[in-house]
Amino acid sequence: MAFNGHQFDDDILDEDGTPSKQLRPDKEMPESAASAGRASSPRRTSNSMSRLRKDSMKKTRPPFPWFGMDIGGTLVKLVYFEPKDITAEEEQEEVDNLKSIRRYLTSNIAYGKTGHRDVHLELQDLTLCGRTGNLHFIRFPTQDLPAFLQMARNKHFSSLHTTLCATGGGAYKFESDFRTMADLQLHKLDELDCLIRGVLYIDSVMSRGLSECYYFENPTDPDHCIQKPYTLENPYPLLLVNIGSGVSILAVYSENNYKRVTGTSLGGGTFLGLCCLLTGCSTFEEALKMASDGESTRVDKLVRDIYGGDYERFGLPGWAVASSFGNMMSKEKRESVSKEDLARATLVTITNNIGSITRMCALNENIERVVFVGNFLRVNTLSMKLLAYAMDYWSKGQLKALFLQHEVQHLSEATPTSMLERAPSPLNAFLCLCVHPGLLWCSRSPAGASPSILTSSKDALLNLLHTPLAL
């Protein structure tokens, strides 16, 4: 999540008065930000953050309105902080257009034809930067961004001296539109940079109580496959696989030293895209639900379909998939499979392929631990177990697949709209905590930020790093 993009003008002072570097240098071009970030000097630890003095917060508190945007390939996710502790004095001072923005946003749940506010996600009485208020979640299709910009222009957003924090590919794609159409500057945040810090951070926050990281014990034995906590005490080196619309694979050697090893375009977007085309479904949840009811072996051609059993000459077990969708070459079989079978086969194909590429990267990079993250895995225990199985089986137990607690959510809790696209992933919420100074503070606010607040806010905070980059 990107919060209202006010920048720190001075170095933040620690309690003892020694200056410490702020997280991200100001006015830095996003392109160089990633590399600069990697090489930059010591990063703030969670400990030092907690020692921020309240007055320094006041000093650095950005002016209202507080907005954060995540501009994805499909949806724009906008978060708006509505201050509820406005004094009469402030009310007086509040300029008209600020007031009208606040009223417009908080009194409606639909904006135009396509904009929606997710009331059920709203977070009330949240303390942020010393202010208390409600956090609203608004979404609209990326294709309607011009209309949004037009509104911003009509309401003279630019006169409010606000800088919008934005992430997602659209932050780059539409930056000039923001400038020319609405006279707004975007403060862009790089996604991968944040991802790494987020994963490390979340583990450091959580490991004191609950373990954030876990793995599947006995992944190759369905009856004894159990989720077990895993402590990332010495996390490096680590392979980080971020599965969103596409997939990025990062080798992390230290907090500041990582590289993108490779990526693949066969990711969550492919799963959903193919499912939509094959089954007529329209959401990630629908697709997942179908997949859980289907049988992929009717669609895929297995080794035993060809060899009658194992292909012993090469140590291939009969159950292994020889050709994904291979049975669909036959007309009769095409006619006999269900939509659920097709959805399942799509899920298995995409998941196994990610597993396969990951395993090869791990071998090439000589890394034994793999952490899988990303929206594709949310609500998707099926894929996680498949990945755990594939890693373990094909590496003969050499590779360990790790997952994060905050990725997990149950279908019942899921929002009805496409999660893949909106995906207020709790993980991503943490990621922005680590990136944005305002939010860093939020997580450690003297008002009592605790892991429980963190977890309660998990559903609400926008995913700063939402759009997963592939390839």
Partner 1 sequence: MAECVGVDSNTSGHSMDKSITLPPDEIFRNLENAKRFAIDIGGSLTKLAYYSTVQHKVAKVRSFDTTAKEAPNDKLYEISVQEEVTARLHFIKFENAYIETCLDFIKDHLVNTETKVIKATGGGAHKFKELIEKKLGLNVDKEDEMTCLIKGCNFVLKNIPHEAFVYARHADSEFRFQTANPDIFPYLLVNIGSGVSIVKVESEDQFERIGGSSIGGGTFWGLGALLTKTKRFDELLQLASKGQHTNVDMLVKDIYGGSYGCLGLTGDLIASSFGKSATADKEFSKEDMAKSLLHMISNDIGQLACLYAKLHNLSRVYFGGFFIRGHPVTMHTITYSINFFTKGEVQALFLRHEGYLGAIGAFLKGAEEDNPNQYSWGENYAGSSGLMSVSPDMNPMQRARSGTFPFDMLEMDRLERQLVNLPLLQDPSSYIPDTVDLTEDALARDYWLYCFEDALDGVVKRAVASQPDIPEAVVRAEKFRQKYRHKLLTLRHQPFAYGSLTVRSLLDTREHCLNEFNFPDPYSKIKQRENDMALKHYQRTVESLDALSWEDRQFALVSGVLAGNVFDWGAKAVSDVLESDPGFGFEQAKRQLEERPWLVDTYDQWLQRLKGPAHKCALFFVDNSGVDIILGVMPFVRELLSRGTEVVLASNSGPALNDVTNGELQILTERIAAMDPVLQAGLQEDRLTLVQSGSSSPCLDLSRLDKVLAMVVRERQTDLVIIEGMGRAIHTNYYATLSCESLKMAVIKNSWLADRLGGKLFSVVFKYEVPLGKVHHNGATLMLS
115 near partner 1, judged by CB under 8 A: no
Q: Is 90 a catalytic residue?
A: no
By CB atoms closer than 10 A (0-12, 13-18, 19+), residue 107 is exposed
Considering only residues 267 to 306 of the shown chain, the ones binding partner 1 according to CB under 8 A are: 267-270, 272-274, 276-278, 282, 299-301, 303, 306
Closer residue to partner 1 (CB): 314 or 413: 314
Closer residue to partner 1 (CB): 60 or 425: 425
* Sheet-wide strand order for 257-264: 226-230, 213-217, 400-404, 369-373, 238-243, 247-254, 257-264
Contacts of 438 (CB under 8 A, 6+ apart): 3, 4, 6, 62, 128, 129
Considering only residues 135 to 174 of the shown chain, the ones binding partner 1 according to CB under 8 A are: 168-170, 172-174
Does a cis peptide bond (omega within 30 degrees of 0) precede residue 237? yes
For every residue of 378-430, DSSP letters joined together read TT-HHHHHHHHHHHHHHTTT--EEEEEGGG---GGGS-SS-HHHH---HHHHH
192 near partner 1, judged by CB under 8 A: yes
Query: Shortest gap between Cβ of 8 and partner 1 (angstroms)?
Result: 23
Q: Per CB under 8 A, which region of 13-21, 156-164, 256-264, 456-464 contacts partner 1?
A: 256-264
Query: Shortest gap between Cβ of 285 and partner 1 (angstroms)?
Result: 13
Query: Shortest gap between Cβ of 463 and partner 1 (angstroms)?
Result: 14
Directed axis angle between helix 339-365 and helix 268-279, to 10°?
160
324 near partner 1, judged by CB under 8 A: yes
Query: Shortest gap between Cβ of 21 and partner 1 (angstroms)?
Result: 20
- Token output for 307: 């060899």
Collapsing DSSP to helix, strand or coil, 165 comes out as: strand
133 near partner 1, judged by CB under 8 A: no
Query: Shortest gap between Cβ of 45 and partner 1 (angstroms)?
Result: 25
Contacts of 384 (CB under 8 A, 6+ apart): 216, 372, 377, 401, 403
State the Cα–Cα distance between residues 279 and 270, nearest whole angstrom. Answer: 14
Measured over all CA atoms, what is the biggest interatomic distance in the chain, rounded to whole angstroms?
A: 82
Task: Please tell me the count of residues contacting partner 1 according to CB under 8 A.
Answer: 77
Question: Taking Cα atoms as reference points, which of 68, 10, 57 lies closest to residue 446?
Answer: 57
- Token output for 320: 């292994």
Closer residue to partner 1 (CB): 352 or 425: 352
Considering only residues 417 to 446 of the shown chain, the ones binding partner 1 according to CB under 8 A are: 418, 420-421
State the Cα–Cα distance between residues 412 and 293, nearest whole angstrom. Answer: 16
Considering only residues 346 to 385 of the shown chain, the ones binding partner 1 according to CB under 8 A are: 349, 352-353, 356-357, 360-361, 363-364
Of the listed 28, 91, 191, 212, which one is catalytic? Answer: 191
Q: Per CB under 8 A, which region of 20-28, 230-238, 317-325, 444-452 contacts partner 1?
A: 317-325
Q: Per CB under 8 A, which region of 30-38, 121-129, 195-203, 451-459 contacts partner 1?
A: 30-38
27 near partner 1, judged by CB under 8 A: no
Closer residue to partner 1 (CB): 213 or 278: 278
With vertex at residue 29, the alpha carbon angle to CA 40 and CA 142, rounded to the nearest 5 degrees, is: 125
Answer for which of 5, 30, 83, 235 binds partner 1 (CB under 8 A) is: 30
Would you name the residues annotated as active-site residues? 191
